[in-house]
Structure 1
Amino acid sequence: MSDRQARGVDRQIQEAEARGEFKNLPGAGKPLPGIGKPLHEDWWLHQQSTRENIGLDALPPGLKLAREVEQLPATLDALKDEAAVRAALDELNVRIRKALIGPIDGPPLRFGLRDVDAEVRAWRERRA
């Protein structure tokens, strides 16, 4: 951007500010959501799907699995007993295994099978 363009942009911002267009914006005075957290490679897609309330069914299978793994602790915490937790993890691992073996729509998986015993231990600790 040239110096002349930058001055033009600055002038437009100052004029909009003088008109009060930046007053009472949603989230004014609040910290930016997610600040201080590491960004995933597809952060923009997560943000847009959350903002537009896009359900898991609308996502490509690879992103759907990624979202499920991201939300796994909350999903497991909603289950009542260890047998249900193990069954849910086994079912998830079947789908992850299929995605790792064959072609899948969406970005490549950046995770592998879940360690069922480790996930069950973590589930027990969160319940305590």
Structure 2
Amino acid sequence: MTRWGKEGERPGAPKAEDQLTDQGVTKRRPSAATTARAVQSWVDQTIDQAQRQGTFDDLPGAGKPLRDVDTRNDPDWWVKSLIQREQLDLSGAMPGVMQLRREKAAYPEALLPLPDEAAVRAAVEDFNARVLADRRRPHAGPTSPPVVGRLDVEEMVQAWREARTAG
């Protein structure tokens, strides 16, 4: 049996696509811009309808700033939100120099709970020993390492005495 043309076609008959084009029917998909405009129009209409119906009235958080709006530009947004959500204290993760500087800034007020001068002297000497140990730690880099100044033991004892008699 001899076949004429391709299977499913009638030899000599016009193609279906040509007939549809002749009738003004196009099979082309709308452009992406047209589709996006249609979707945007539908979204805007839906929002307008919801506003008219009062769907957005009295929502929790109305009038307050949105949380995490600027997280797209911050690669560490998830770490920061974890720290905030879990209320983590990261002072132990600070470099030793920064911890010592923070501790030094709290003196002499941090010495007030100590019972006597011997305890004050021991605390200040312990601080000074940790400062010296930090200075002995190796440092890499083109700049000088950050340092923390030591405390004067007698000056701290005097400040402790004055604070105890004044308070």
Cα pair distance change 1:79/1:102, threshold 3 Å: same
| Partner residue, 2:159 | 122
Q: State how far apart, in whole Å, the 2-side matches of 1:82 and 1:102 are.
A: 31
Are 2:130 and 1:95 aligned?
A: yes
Whole-angstrom distance in 1 between the partners of 2:163 and 2:88: 28
Q: How many Å separate the matches in 2 of 1:103 and 1:125?
A: 39
Once residues 103 and 54 of structure 1 are traced to their aligned partners in structure 2, the CA distance between those partners, rounded to angstroms, is 27
Gaps of 5+ in 2: 1-61, 66-86
The corresponding residue for 1:75 is 110
**CA–CA separation in structure 1 for the residues paired with 2:146 and 2:93:** 17
Letter in 2 for 1:100: R
Q: Post-superposition, which runs of at least 4 consecutive aligned residues in structure 1 deviate over 6 A? A: none
Shift of 1:63: 1.0
Unaligned runs of 5+ in 1: 1-18, 23-51
Q: Matches of 1:115 and 1:87 in 2, distance apart?
A: 12
Q: Higher helix fraction: Structure 1 or Structure 2?
A: 1
Taking the TM superposition and a 5 Å limit, the aligned residue runs for 1:1-128 are 20-21=63-64, 54-103=89-138, 108-109=146-147, 111-128=148-165
Give the TM-score of the pair, scaled to structure 2: 0.41
How far has the Cα of 1:124 moved from its partner?
0.5
TM-score between the two structures when normalised by the length of structure 1? 0.52
Tell me the percent identity.
Answer: 39
The 1:125–1:53 alpha-carbon spacing in structure 2 relative to 1, beyond 3 Å, is: farther
Q: Is the 8 A contact 1:57 1:64 kept in 2?
A: yes
Q: CA deviation at 1:82?
A: 0.2
Larger Rg computed on CA atoms: 2
C-alpha RMSD over aligned residues = 2.6
What is the distance in 1 between the residues matched to 2:125 and 2:139? 20
**Higher RCO by CA contacts (8 Å cutoff, separation 6 or greater):** 1
SS in structure 2 opposite 1:54? coil
